[in-house]
Amino acid sequence: MKIRVALAGNPNVGKSVVFNNLTGGHQHIGNWPGKTIDKAEGTLNYKGNEIYIIDLPGTYSLTAYSVEELIARDYIIQEKPDVVVNIVDASNLERNLYLTLQLSELGANIIIALNKMDLAKKENAKIEVKKLEKILGIPIIPMVAPRKEGMKELTDAIIKYAENPVKREIRYDEKIEKYIDEVRRIIEGKIEGLNPRWAAIKILENDEEIKKKIGKDLLSRCEEVRENMKNEVGDPEVALADARYELIKEICKDVLIKEKKVTASDIIDSVLLDKYLGIPIFISILWMIFQFGFMISAPFCDFLGDGFAQVSSALSGITGIRWLDYLLFGDYGVLNGLGMVLSFVPLIILLYFALSLVEDFGYMARAAFLMDRIMRKLGLSGRAIIPMILGLGCNVPAIYATRTIPDEKDRLVAIVTNPLMLCGARLVFFSAIVGAFWGEMGGDVLLSLYLLGVVLTFIVAIILRKTVFKGKASPFILELPPYQMPVPRVCLRKAWERGKLFFTKAGKVILPGILILGILLITSTSFAYTENAEESIAAVIGKALLPLVKPLGWDWRLLVAALFGIVAKEIVLGASALLYGVSEENIAATMASMYTPLQMYSYLVFILIYVPCIVTIGAIKQEAGTKWAVFTVIYEILLAYLVAWLVLGIGHLMGVA
Amino acid sequence: MIPLAFAPEGKILRVVGIRGGRGVMQRLADLGLLPGSIIRVVKSTGGGAILLELRGSKIALGRGISMKVFVEVK
């Protein structure tokens, strides 16, 4: 038998652990169509049954107000899964049952997986499972997902109840129910594909999505009922939420015995959220994640990058045709390009793994709480601090880290401003240059560039908030989940999938991009192969564009070097050395003999800002879509030009030669 | 009756009223923050951001919202 199962539940109830336990390696993570919300699907073969499992986004409710909730409820309505496994946190029964009641309103065939039984026990909460099962009329499987306790029972229950669905109506207080019944009578039989009781509730809740599906005449009759309800019990949305919570209170009175006691979470919070210690601790945790990710991945990244480079140079000349040889094995050829994309994978996996551990531990929500007030004033959400800091290492994993930002607008602002953070690749070029120009002051110059990046991030974020992403900032409402030990195998799996996705999705943008730039470098204007950089199309483009950068006082070589920096920012160093015909060791001195420190500072500022590297562009495209990738490239070029020009102008005014 | 933003830490409070747009009201209601709900302020940052205990879970609210939720000391 084929069974389709959807996992639903609040955030932080251990849904992804249950999902992993059920599917093991047979899973696929992608996006919900048109959304940057993870869509995890998998399969399980059990006792001759083929079970398809989908992990719905974590939600507290099923309204039309948030994308996650819409995805979850539309899936249940439209795809009609055979079984909905509602994962409920036993240590937080009251709040979790709210979603259970809504799933039941939908008429779904529900099984409750009562997870975190161990935590409930630790907190001295005793749940009478059998009694709860009877009151709700929903089968309940107690479990401890990280230890895989209860998994077999859950799988058996899925098969049992897929064959024999149990659907029971859970009724609320009569003074609410009479209005639900009234609307239900109006619409019954006149709406297709919707559970009439659920539709009636949603109409009373003024749910726009459902109202669209009801004819005008019917709707005006329903509105009358809603009006009456409002007069009797107040705002129907609040009244319904109240009715659900009242019922839950009644139920919990019967089945839950909870002694009030200070939990481990309370104690940890008193330290981690301390007025004075909170932010320093947060910065140190971030620093550890940063070190962990970049230090451990460095040898792997180098190995992959260098490995491909060595294989390339070994194979070089094998075809006998120089242009083909170059395309396959050259510096910007297929093999090196592939090596470059691959060399990012270990970094992404490790950083994502570390971030998942911290997230699953329950700390990310705390970090957002700590940082939100400051970051909000600067145009960003509290959670954007994490991608910002990661951006100092590499913007690519930083862009992926924006996934933890729940609000779409907040996330887009964080994504398009992230490349302004000075990453490690730009540092390669900058640190090679500053010594020759500023000597011992070089470090201060570097620091000023770092600060400039941070300040610009905030300025751009504030401007975007007032223009492109206008509208009220999403209100800050966030649950701080109880702390819990993360399950490394689950985090590792998430990180692995993220790395895979980067390679397949972003790679499709990056590899062709590298090839195109490579072709421009080896093709002369008469479309013949050339090794003389000055004859290449790239150089011709550079020279043609030169009038544009005249106010900045560059020669064509600086422009072309910047053009190559699009592939990867560290290439600016090698490319300028190549173009000036000197070695990488001497390029700084050569430049120092040609440009004033002010001119060079202006150029460094330009390189800091101008375009994200092609790998970052690929990541932005994957996470935010083509439109925002293009937007980022364009605004950054304009901003780079403006700031570089301002640096020159202000420098001259101040009399800096 | 005072805005939640100014409520003292540690005291048990009753929610009297919530002023806000529909989206915000619904989100708070979904988390169980309704007129009549009993809550406790665990932490107040002074700037208006509030951490409160509500139906056994911890909910953080930004200043924008904590100014719109009105409470009285129980």
pLDDT tier at A178, thresholds 50, 70, 90: very high
What span, in angstroms and rounded, lies between the C-alpha atoms of A477 and A406?
A: 11
pLDDT digits (tens, 9 = 90+) for A100-135: 999 999 999 999 999 999 988 888 889 999 999 999
Could you tell me the end-to-end alpha-carbon distance of chain B, in angstroms, rounded to an integer? Answer: 11
Give CA A521 to chain center in angstroms.
35
For A146, A148, A262, A374, the CA distances from A24, given in Å and listed in that order, are 13, 12, 36, 41
Instruction: Give the distance from residue A240's alpha carbon to the nearest chain B alpha carbon, in angstroms.
Output: 9
Confidence (pLDDT) at A66: 81
Report which secondary-structure segment, H or E, holds A22: helix A15-23
Instruction: Give the distance from residue A310's alpha carbon to the nearest chain B alpha carbon, in angstroms.
Output: 53
Instruction: Give the distance from residue A473's alpha carbon to the nearest chain B alpha carbon, in angstroms.
Output: 10
A657 within 8 A of A598, measured Cβ to Cβ: yes
Which range, of A76-85, A137-146, A568-577, averages the lowest pLDDT? Answer: A568-577
Q: Nearest chain B Cα to A278, which residue?
A: B45
Confidence (pLDDT) at A124: 84
Confidence (pLDDT) at A192: 82
Residue A420 tokens, joined: 């302004």
Say if B69 is an interface residue toward chain A (CB within 8 Å). no
> Could you identify the residue written with the tokens 């009038």?
A547
Name the pairing type of β-strands A38-46 and A27-31.
antiparallel
Which member of A60, A372, A476 has the closest CB to residue B31? A60
Q: Nearest chain B Cα to A477, which residue?
A: B61
Instruction: Give the distance from residue B20's alpha carbon to the nearest chain A alpha carbon, in angstroms.
Output: 10
Q: What is the mean pLDDT of residues A226-251?
A: 93
Instruction: Give the distance from residue A205's alpha carbon to the nearest chain B alpha carbon, in angstroms.
Output: 9
Cβ-based contacts of A368 with chain B (< 8 Å): 60
Confidence (pLDDT) at A443: 86
Q: Nearest chain B Cα to A93, which residue?
A: B56
Say yes or no for a CB contact (<8 Å) between A477 and B51: no
Which member of B26, B43, B49 has the closest CB to residue A63? B26
Residue A261 pLDDT exceeds 80: no
Q: What is the mean pLDDT of residues A484-507?
A: 86
Q: What is the mean pLDDT of residues A328-341?
A: 81
pLDDT tier at A145, thresholds 50, 70, 90: very high
pLDDT tier at A160, thresholds 50, 70, 90: very high
Say if B27 is an interface residue toward chain A (CB within 8 Å). yes
Say yes or no for a CB contact (<8 Å) between A95 and B32: yes
Say yes or no for a CB contact (<8 Å) between A476 and B28: no
Instruction: Identify the three-state secondary structure at position A381.
Output: coil
pLDDT digits (tens, 9 = 90+) for A605-655: 999 999 999 889 999 998 899 999 999 999 999 999 999 999 999 999 988
Confidence (pLDDT) at A301: 82
Confidence (pLDDT) at A643: 97
Say yes or no for a CB contact (<8 Å) between B31 and A95: yes
Q: Nearest chain A Cα to B65, which residue?
A: A475
Residue A578 pLDDT exceeds 80: no
What span, in angstroms and rounded, lies between the C-alpha atoms of A548 and A546?
A: 5
Q: What is the mean pLDDT of residues A222-237?
A: 93
Average pLDDT of adjacent 10-residue blocks, chain B of 74 residues: 89 91 86 92 81 90 89 90
A511 within 8 A of A338, measured Cβ to Cβ: yes
Which amino acid, residue A288? M
State the complex-level ipTM.
0.94
In a mutagenesis test of the B interface, which of A249, A476, A484 is the best target, namely the one with the most B β-carbons within 10 Å?
A: A476
Instruction: Give the distance from residue A182's alpha carbon to the nearest chain B alpha carbon, in angstroms.
Output: 23
Of all residues in chain A, what percent carry a pLDDT higher than 70?
99
pTM confidence score: 0.83
Residue A657 pLDDT exceeds 70: no
pLDDT digits (tens, 9 = 90+) for A279-324: 899 989 988 887 888 888 889 888 888 888 888 888 888 888 878 8
* A536, β-bridge pairs: A524
Cβ-based contacts of A373 with chain B (< 8 Å): 45, 47-49, 62-63
Q: What is the mean pLDDT of residues A437-444?
A: 88
Which range, of A291-300, A404-413, A469-478, averages the lowest pLDDT? Answer: A469-478
Cβ-based contacts of A482 with chain B (< 8 Å): 58
Which range, of A199-213, A338-352, B49-63, averages the lowest pLDDT? Answer: A338-352
Q: Is the CA virtual torsion A178, A195, A83, A480 positive or negative?
A: negative
What span, in angstroms and rounded, lies between the C-alpha atoms of A580 and A576?
A: 6
Q: What is the mean pLDDT of residues A484-490?
A: 90
Residue A495 tokens, joined: 């990180």
Of all residues in chain A, what percent carry a pLDDT higher than 90?
48
B15 within 8 A of B37, measured Cβ to Cβ: yes
pLDDT digits (tens, 9 = 90+) for A36-49: 678 899 999 999 99
Q: Residue A123: which residues within 8 A CB-CB, separation 6 or more?
A: A91, A258, A261, A263
Confidence (pLDDT) at A24: 86
Closest CA to A81 of A165, A142, A6: A6
Say yes or no for a CB contact (<8 Å) between A373 and B63: yes
Say yes or no for a CB contact (<8 Å) between A477 and B63: no
Confidence (pLDDT) at A459: 96
